[in-house]
Amino acid sequence: MDKFVITGGTALQGEVTTSGSKNSALPALAAALLTEEPVVLHRVPRVRDIRTMERLLVDIGAKVDVENGSVRLHTERIVSPEAPYELVKTMRASSLVLGPLVARCGRARVSLPGGCAIGARPINLHIFGLEQLGARIHQAHGYIEAQAPDGLRGNTVNFDRITVTGTEDLMMAAVLAKGETILRNAAREPEVVDLADMLIRMGARIEGAGTSKIRVQGVERLAGVEHTIIPDRIEAGTFLVAGAITGGDLTVAACNPEHVSALVSKLQQAGVEVTQPDATTLRVRGRGHLRSVDITTEEYPGFATDLQAQYMALMTQAEGIALIVETIFENRYMHASELVRMGANIRIDGKQAIVAGPRQLTGAGVIASDLRASASLVLAALVAKGETVIDRVYHIDRGYEKIEAKLAATGARIRRVE
């Protein structure tokens, strides 16, 4: 298993380029199942979760060709409308094929995901939504079987809590359903909007993506499309924190500044200088002294849960007490105990974490437990005294494209060892 060896103490300087969004590319790949015509996606990050989704789509019947960050998909025929446990257990977003498969061929068999490191993560709302659209659902042997032999019928789906992939899954199901579907309490994340943009260009009729009410008029069929994935806001946010925590001067290029505005606001309140030289660039300059600022994770446009761990690493370097409240996932503080091993002062009490700083971190052997927790440990290692060895970096490879190369190019002393 690969490890990262990081020697802290260098202020990052220069420019990093943001990759395409993993969480936008995953539903976009699944959406290619909705048409028998070719779909070409640009700016798809070469990360492990994307490769897992590509493998799944090949098993289902898609022809998948990858070239220079672009992916060409062609699903003339669904061969096997199934997402097996072996793939779903390694990547929960596999459940994104449920909606497209039922919409395209009237049936799907998808493994239930089971628990994961950050929480229980059920898919009951995906299932409820499909039932509202007329699918018959049967659960047996750890699998969900959905049947709609005569096609799905539009209906109103009231989500009792906001779910990102649930909204995406149902939107993909509704585009080929008969009549009108209304999704209430829908997720407003930029990834939902990106997917809607792609589907609309395939011929879907969707209004309201980006608001909590999405209206879909079903159409008979969808055409192929060429689509460019939006920049990864979580990767961009991680680099902003890297610039801030090292007291560096880092330019984050090819990002969408609006998508990280909740983080930028918190960084500015903490005393970090963040400017926007142009429409797709942010520049972060650490000014030495950081103040503690509280955060509560929320659905978009609030502070992203996917940036909570990275922000916690930053707060270990800030003066005062920062209260962090995680409201989206019930167990997303696995990084805290590793940060404590590096010298941080953090107490966890249920949904709340209290970080008292600043503390000089020191390099240690630590273990990555999930994707964003690993990013948090990398950030902490960049300011720690001495050497940190991060084990199980396969977690970070799920969602960050060439992170060690990007950080090394801005002066970080980081290397991968096998």
| CB-based burial label for 337 (10 Å; 0-12, 13-18, 19+) | middle
| CB-based burial label for 92 (10 Å; 0-12, 13-18, 19+) | middle
Give, as ranges, the residues between 67 and 96 that touch ligand EPU (CB under 6 A).
Answer: 92-93
Beta bridge partners of 181: 216
State the nearest-atom distance from the C-beta of 127 to ligand EPU, in Å.
7
C-alpha 406/C-alpha 403 separation (Å) is 5
C-alpha 123/C-alpha 303 separation (Å) is 23
Give whichever of 34 and 307 is closer to ligand EPU, judged by the CB atom. Answer: 307
- Is position 166 an interface residue for ligand EPU (rule: CB under 6 A)? yes
**Max CA separation in the chain (angstroms):** 64
Which residue of the set 5, 66, 116, 340 is catalytic?
116
Stretch that binds ligand EPU, among 163-171, 175-183, 196-204, 275-283 (CB under 6 A): 163-171
State the nearest-atom distance from the C-beta of 162 to ligand EPU, in Å.
6
* 258: CB partners within 8 A, 6+ apart: none
State the nearest-atom distance from the C-beta of 402 to ligand EPU, in Å.
17
State the nearest-atom distance from the C-beta of 95 to ligand EPU, in Å.
8
- Is position 165 an interface residue for ligand EPU (rule: CB under 6 A)? yes
Stretch that binds ligand EPU, among 74-82, 120-128, 147-155, 405-413 (CB under 6 A): 120-128
- Is position 374 an interface residue for ligand EPU (rule: CB under 6 A)? no
Give whichever of 53 and 216 is closer to ligand EPU, judged by the CB atom. Answer: 53
- Is position 271 an interface residue for ligand EPU (rule: CB under 6 A)? no
Give, as ranges, the residues between 124 and 153 that touch ligand EPU (CB under 6 A).
Answer: 124-126
Q: Which of 173, 185, 162 is nearest to 216 (CA)?
A: 173
- Is position 231 an interface residue for ligand EPU (rule: CB under 6 A)? no
Give whichever of 197 and 286 is closer to ligand EPU, judged by the CB atom. Answer: 197
- Is position 358 an interface residue for ligand EPU (rule: CB under 6 A)? no
Stretch that binds ligand EPU, among 114-122, 173-181, 314-322, 383-391 (CB under 6 A): 114-122
Q: Which amino acid is at 250?
A: L
State the nearest-atom distance from the C-beta of 132 to ligand EPU, in Å.
13
Give, as ranges, the residues between 8 and 47 that touch ligand EPU (CB under 6 A).
Answer: 23, 26
Contact between residue 418 and residue 394 where contact means Cβ atoms under 8 Å apart: no
Both tokens of residue 389? 């060895």
How many separate helices (H) and strands (E) can be counted in the chain?
14, 24
Give, as ranges, the residues between 295 and 334 that touch ligand EPU (CB under 6 A).
Answer: 305-306, 328-329
C-alpha 400/C-alpha 238 separation (Å) is 10
State the nearest-atom distance from the C-beta of 214 to ligand EPU, in Å.
15
Give whichever of 95 and 251 is closer to ligand EPU, judged by the CB atom. Answer: 95
Strands 156-158 and 143-147, how do they pair?
unpaired
Give 165-192 as a 3 state SS string: HHHHHHHHHHCCCECEEEEECCCCCHHH
- Is position 119 an interface residue for ligand EPU (rule: CB under 6 A)? yes
Give whichever of 311 and 329 is closer to ligand EPU, judged by the CB atom. Answer: 329
C-alpha 396/C-alpha 88 separation (Å) is 18
Give, as ranges, the residues between 377 and 416 that touch ligand EPU (CB under 6 A).
Answer: 399
The dihedral through the CA atoms of 52, 57, 58, 64 has a sign that is negative
Both tokens of residue 35? 């048409």
Q: Which of 155, 157, 62, 141 is nearest to 101 (CA)?
A: 62
Catalytic (active site) residue 255? no
- Is position 121 an interface residue for ligand EPU (rule: CB under 6 A)? yes
Choose which of 122, 208, 271, 343 interacts with ligand EPU (CB under 6 A): 122
Going by the DSSP 8-state scheme, the letter that residue 306 receives in this structure is G
State the nearest-atom distance from the C-beta of 385 to ligand EPU, in Å.
29
State the nearest-atom distance from the C-beta of 223 to ligand EPU, in Å.
25
Choose which of 371, 373, 383, 396 interacts with ligand EPU (CB under 6 A): 371
Beta bridge partners of 415: 5
Stretch that binds ligand EPU, among 116-124, 192-200, 220-228, 271-279 (CB under 6 A): 116-124
Q: Which amino acid is at 43?
A: R
Question: Phi and psi at residue 275, in whole multiples of 5°?
Answer: -125, 165
Q: Which of 368, 346, 365, 364 is nearest to 355 (CA)?
A: 346
* Active centre residues (catalytic): 116
Q: Using CB under 6 A, list all residues that contact ligand EPU.
A: 23, 26, 92-93, 119-126, 161, 163-166, 191, 305-306, 328-329, 371-372, 399
